[in-house]
Amino acid sequence: MSHTVSTAFATTRAFRATRSSNGLGALPGWQYHALACYSHAMDLLTALLASRVKAELLRLLFDVEGRELHLRELARRANLSEATLRQELKRLTGLYRVERRQDGNRTYYRANRQHPLYPELRGLVLKTTGLADVLREALGVEGIGVAFVFGSLASGAEQPESDVDLMVIGTLTLRQLASRLSGISERLGRELNPYALTPQEYAARRLDGEHFLTSVLAAPKLFVIGDEDELEALGGERVASPTPDQPQGDHGPAVHRRARPRRRR
């Protein structure tokens, strides 16, 4: 068995063992909100990788920004010595999971997107300490049934200029959603495009086979709140007219409207 395959199996076994020992089971729906605490997320990532140094490096190199960082910057962000990081980076570059580039007296590192384990490692980081963690903390759970990231970031095909496309299905209005997500674009270093649908709108559009929604559902998704089963259940919601106290047009149709998070000054 190749090192890559055996490492993948070991990572999967560790993930299952960690979830089981923590009593989290399959981490369905609302239980994901428990990972909003950064320290807990880092503990999980460290447990899965059996090394805090490796966990910090993967957090920094495989996160939503996906930037190339030089050794000194990595040490500053990880709050670890350059010597400690250099040793682990040597191992990661030797396994081709991280790429190294020399520019004068500076050494730069970045995630190797061509490595077979890149999607799994990146997904693990985004679900624990990266994109999903930041969005989950900002959104909370009140008024939200399911929320997930779709598009290039969910599929791993993003570019430095790619936006974060976020679908939120629940009772929040566009204004409420924008308020909760205020300042998140700056934290992520990417433009955020949130789409809001009520469960009734979602069910109706899915039933009608709306092209945009059908395309979103068929593509990879990174769940922030809820899971695939809860999303499937929402598709069976009874379509109802808005109640008198629910303003029409405040929930933006996914195709035409999206919330615009207010920038913090």
Q: What is the mean pLDDT of each run of 10 residues along the chain (265 residues)?
A: 36 41 41 40 53 83 80 91 92 88 93 86 72 85 93 80 91 90 83 93 94 94 92 69 42 46 51
CA 247/CA 255 separation, integer angstroms: 19
Enumerate domains of the chain plus CATH numbers.
3-119 (1.10.10.10), 134-234 (3.30.460.10)
CA–CA separation, 262 and 213 (whole Å): 25
pLDDT score recorded for residue 64: 64
Q: Is the pTM of this model over 0.85?
A: no
Residue-level pLDDT at 141? 83
Strands of 106-111's sheet, edge to edge?
69-70, 106-111, 98-103
CA distance 228 to 184: 25
Per-residue pLDDT, 170: 94
- Cα torsion angle, 240, 243, 249, 251, sign: negative
